[in-house]
Structure 1
Amino acid sequence: MITEDQLTSQEAIALEEKHGAHNYHPLPVVLSRGEGVFVWDVEGKKYYDFLSAYSAVNQGHCHPAIVDAMNKQAQTLTLTSRAFHNDILGRYEAFATDYFKFDKLLPMNTGAEAVETAIKIARKWAYEKKGVKEQDAQIIVCENNFHGRTTTIISFSNDEGARKNFGPYTPGFIKIPYDDPKALERALIENKNVAGFLVEPIQGEAGVYTPSDDFMKQAKAICEKHNVLFIADEIQTGIARTGALLAVCGNCTCEGHCERQETYSRPDILILGKALSGGAYPVSAVLADDEIMNVIQPGQHGSTFGGNPVAGAVAMAALNVVKDENLAQNARKLGELFRAKLNEYIKDSTIVNLVRGRGLLNAIVINDTEDSSTAWDICVALKENGLLAKPTHGNIIRFAPPLVMNEEQLLDCVAIITKTLGDFEK
């Protein structure tokens, strides 16, 4: 219900249009409340959230355990900077390093900050441990990557929408095709100054492009062979989203990392964000063992808000929810059901070419060109039918609901999706 001081959707959108930078193109919906797998707009209409803030809200909207941890810490101590110690940071670092099985954690706030941090650590390691001549270190990345939008990161993007007119670009990157271990091997044979290979286990922004089952394992082995750091960007894919704690775990759904699992390609540097806080607060982190992380010394990297007490309390609560509620296992089970149902639908579909993904990170490829409006129009129709999703790369729709979803809700969503697609069939 709209109160006297509450904006209508049209008024809220008009305010953003007039006073905000136009750096996003959101769906025409104005949300004001969220709980679990649902969100409500300002007029009170209820929707399934099938984007989860790009997988930041894996634990569901406003999870009470996470909100409670945030509220309690916010009323006690919010920020000290790293000029002083606080009584939460060490606990959080010990908790998270045990949870993910690494020696050290460097706390940051956003995903892009964490990627930049990993790049700096890898280069410094190359100079001080590998013997690469200073200023010569290279990082190998993949085509169609998405690691953020800072100047350095867009320098190795091939998304012209993100790059054009933002140069000059930062050098020091080698780009290879994704899911191509032979290309990785060639690049490392041709260049002895490579510090690391930065890769997404699944390319989310590229349309949930899921590589061959053994790509991560092969990439890790090649990196080890050439003394190069294997750097996994799990900002979107990590923390149970793909049916495992990390996407590099493959099919492993154990609570931690089981070194006996043949599918686990343990990163040398692990980058986390988004669901590390359950979407309640900006929290990101870079994890590595001592041999790598100890190249960073006082004054060489930092952040005023990185490692603040609220962030630490929220992250511990968020990770406990993942473990206590078996979210990796749920994502794996429901993801298999979702793809089975959608694949059954597209057998006779003219509008959808392909369903792909892992766990509850999935996408459908619309049978139209990238410059068409079909995927956008379908998402607008889905909104009208009570489900929120968003196109990527023009003709791809990503589906990533909160991992607290149950089977009944998932099947309800499948019915909404297939009914909506049916209205677009030729």
Structure 2
Amino acid sequence: MAPYESDDSTNGTTTTAAEAGEPRSGRRAAARYVVPVAVVGVAAATIGLVPALASSGDPDLPKITAAQLINKIAKSDVEQLSGTVKITTDLGLPDLGGLESGLLSGATQPGGDGSAADPSAKLTELAAGTHTLRVAADGPDRQKLSLLENAAEYSLIHDGKDVWGYDSKSNEVYHSTADDSAAKGRDGEDHVPATPKDLTDEALKSVDDTTSVTVDGTMQVAGRDAYKLLITPKQSGTTVGAITVAVDAKTGLPLKFTLTPAGGGAAVVDAGFTQVSFARPAASTFDFTPPKGAKVTEGDDLGHGRENGKPEEDLSKGADGLGGLEDHKVIGEGWNSVAVFDSGSKGGLPSESADGDLGGFLGSLGDKVSGKFGSGTVFSTRLVNALVTDDGKVYVGAVTKDALVKAADTGR
């Protein structure tokens, strides 16, 4: 069981989750998502929200240990809220004029059979730049997320069995049911990993004996008093520098999430509410009727339905169907874990396309490397790096280029 390091420096002791009265299953209970409605593919885990500006002066709150604060997060039962958030994500992706979002989501290009309102494509816009969101939730069956754009708005509404996506710019509507694979994560729970709570839940799953967890003071977010939880990898070789979570002192709900890279510079993911209310939203918030003249696309028409109770399409396969992640293996442990799967494409990067030398273009975006495994190309962001070998293997992790090569040499 992972040790949670106390912020009480007078005794220098650590507290395990079990000693804090928090079994592993209790920690996983923290994964009840506040705004559940869609998935955006492999890149979604890196999507974040910009923090609200903290008020001057830190609040004076009762002392609490890291184990107690994590337990407070796990026991948080907030199901009703509304608020405004901002999103800034700086992965350091190359500027491909918007093409990078399509590649990450596997979105259908203009003129294809896809829908501009399909959340699996639309929400990948959050993977880069700064955006403003409005969120609302009323229990497990009613949530709404609206992405505000220049003179347009995209809304994702979950109301009972129905999931609606509406893009006002194109006047297109996407519709599915809460049981469709398009509206569910691989763990079977609906979720949008785009709130501080979502991101915190994912971070806490990574906490083990390779991690230091402490309480690092207090702050205010969106006018509310909060504790600061600091999560720091003990290992070298990871691209993650530290994660800071502002936890609401009253409700235990994470209000702000910040992930800074080991390489320094601006945060890769910076997440927080600028305004939040825990009052029940008006019932009309979740009402939706397709506007007159809107094009409506059913999720089943895009292959998002189910057959025999199983998803027809595993969204973890990514843009090119690079093998389901359920078939992957893991090399290393903790923050140095590297996922390995077979792309099914021998010979490495594709060498030709209808538009010319696609392999050469993709290769120019990466760095050629070689080792005991053979040779390949490393594609880097400020957080997640991937090595595609010439024999079709793919190594992915929040680790440095050298760590990827070492993992490939070990698991060749």
The two structures have a TM-score, normalised by structure 2, of: 0.25
- Higher-strand-fraction structure: 2
- Higher-helix-fraction structure: 1
